[in-house]
Amino acid sequence: MIILKSKSEIALLREAGRIVARVHEAMREMIRPGVTTAELDAKAEAIIRASGAIPTFLGYPHSGRNDFPASICASINEELVHGIPSKQRWLEPGDIISIDVGATYQGWVGDSAWTYPVGTIDAASQQLLAATEGSLWAAIAQARPGNYLIDLGRAVEEHVNPRGFAVVREYTGHGVGRRMHEDPQVLNYVPQGASNGPRLKAGMTLAIEPMVNAGTWRTKVLADGWTVVTADGKRSAHFEHSIALTEGEAEVLTVL
Ligand code: MG
Ligand code: MG
């Protein structure tokens, strides 16, 4: 069931989103060769707590796995999502790192991911990042009343495929509100024979998050039970904003 939010509920989601955006601003400044992903995680947690919020990811349960042990997901190069921060993992020049952050403020969740270059990255990685971010904005542009949910997935695919990259299918965006993962699932592609899904309405709040691979769309999970990597070891990028649908253009919630 898709839960529509009132204006006052969206105001709280906006506050949660702003806290997440503040974390991203700090991550952008900190990311450089030699920084560990544990240092990034500690900074993120400190900002979230100082803002009166709770790190949504910390202790997040998943059936058959240990609870997630950190406040951010830090996923480097061929790691796609759900990378676990570590004191043993240093950023290297030329890496790309996806930071995914969630903050719960007065019971409402903000969720946003961004992929950052570490120093100078090669041209192929630059194109991968640009294509993935572009597909996020293409999907957000379709998020308006009258369109269908599947129009978001179509927008991602139509942006990514001509650029020679592959949209991940096994992980999707989602509704966001009092829980991080609410209905509906927000696909980043159009499955064969798919229905249009529900019509979009003002008051829907969605986390749109295309994940795009340089090679195959297929993925696998590492032995730690969390880290998702590309099946062929090529690089992957991930961009996510939480948004609120209005009568016109969607409002991006995870911004300053
Ligand atoms: Mg996220
Ligand atoms: Mg999400």
**122 and 230 Cβ atoms separated by less than 8 Å:** no
Sheet holding 205-208, edge to edge: 182-186, 173-175, 205-208, 241-244, 251-252
Can you tell me the mean pLDDT for 125-147?
Answer: 98
Cα of 146 vs centre of ligand 1, distance in Å, is: 26
pLDDT for the residue numbered 65: 77
Neighbours of ion ligand 1 (CB under 5 A): 100, 111, 113, 240
Cα of 70 vs centre of ligand 1, distance in Å, is: 13
Cα of 196 vs centre of ligand 1, distance in Å, is: 24
Asked if residue 63 has pLDDT above 80, the reply is: no
Can you tell me the mean pLDDT for 60-64?
Answer: 83
Distances (CA, A) of 37 to 76, 85, 105, 171: 9, 5, 24, 23
**Who wins on pLDDT, 151 or 195?**
151
Cα of 226 vs centre of ligand 1, distance in Å, is: 14
Cβ burial of 256 (10 Å; 0-12, 13-18, 19+) is exposed
Which pLDDT tens digit goes with each residue over 4-45? 999 999 999 999 999 999 999 999 999 999 999 999 999 999
pLDDT for the residue numbered 23: 98
Cα of 25 vs centre of ligand 1, distance in Å, is: 16
Q: Which domains are present in the chain?
A: 7-252 (3.90.230.10)
Which pLDDT tens digit goes with each residue over 86-119? 999 999 999 999 999 999 999 999 999 999 999 9
